[in-house]
């Protein structure tokens, strides 16, 4: 039996101060796309997660080119996911001396790139 090793480059961002729900909207559009097509989609998507994902995707491309000698023309997004990180809990004063809890959510985002055969 032959074992083939698949080269993959990854980039991850931990504790991003954006809700994973907002990131997943854009991430679902990018999954399985070529890198150049994904960058074009991100550029013209007016969502909060676009800015974070664009920076992370460019980092993953740089990792692929510099660390694994992969060509950027052949890359595609094999995996992209945003998991929930720790939630920062804050308190806001409310009526009659009570308080309301504010949850500032964070996310852990990962992008995995592979080369097309």
pLDDT tens, 66-115?
999 899 899 999 999 999 999 999 999 999 999 999 999 999 999 999 99
pLDDT tens, 56-69?
999 999 999 999 98
Does some domain include residue 53? yes
Does some domain include residue 79? yes
Does some domain include residue 59? yes
CATH number of the domain that residue 105 is part of: 3.90.470.10
Overall number of domains in the chain: 1
**Predicted TM-score (pTM) above 0.85:** yes
Backbone phi, then psi, for 55, in 5-degree steps? Answer: -65, -40
Does some domain include residue 37? yes
Residues 6 and 99: beta-carbon distance below 8 Å: no
> Alpha-carbon torsion 106, 9, 65, 40, what sign?
negative
The pair of three-digit structure tokens given for residue 67, joined into one six-digit string: 């660390």
- C-alpha 25/C-alpha 15 separation (Å) is 18
If you average pLDDT over residues 40-57, what whole number do you get?
Answer: 95
């Amino acid at each position: 039996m032959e074992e083939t090793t698949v080269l993959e480059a990854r980039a991850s961002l931990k504790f991003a101060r954006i809700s994973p729900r907002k990131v997943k909207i854009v991430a679902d559009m990018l999954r399985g796309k070529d890198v150049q097509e994904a960058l074009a989609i991100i550029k013209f998507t007016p969502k909060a997660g676009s800015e974070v994902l664009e920076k992370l995707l460019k980092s993953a491309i740089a990792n692929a080119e510099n660390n694994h000698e992969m060509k950027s023309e052949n890359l595609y997004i094999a995996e992209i996911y945003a998991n929930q990180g720790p939630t920062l809990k804050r308190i806001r004063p409310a009526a009659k001396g009570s308080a309301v809890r504010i949850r500032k959510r964070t996310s852990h985002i990962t992008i995995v790139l592979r080369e097309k055969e």
